[in-house]
Structure 1
């Protein structure tokens, strides 16, 4: 029972880490795009 709980905790941590990584990548992408458009203007 306890192993099941720790396993679920590990999975949740993994998903959270991947989600944060995706968010960071998306933000960096939008920032780069905005900077590029600023330079073009």
Structure 2
């Protein structure tokens, strides 16, 4: 279940902080990165 879909501006800030080429990479990952929770059930 997605909790957040990261867009261009979110990715740009993150990539700049990591010392990467933010302009180039942020356009590549626009909408392709998300935060999510994985819900699991214990087997019966």
TM-score, length-normalised on structure 2? 0.29
- Kindly indicate whether structure 1 or structure 2 has the higher relative contact order, using CA contacts under 8 Å at least 6 residues apart: 2
Larger radius of gyration: 1
TM-score, normalised to structure 1, is: 0.30
| Structure with the largest fraction of helix | 1
- Higher strand proportion (structure 1 or 2): 2
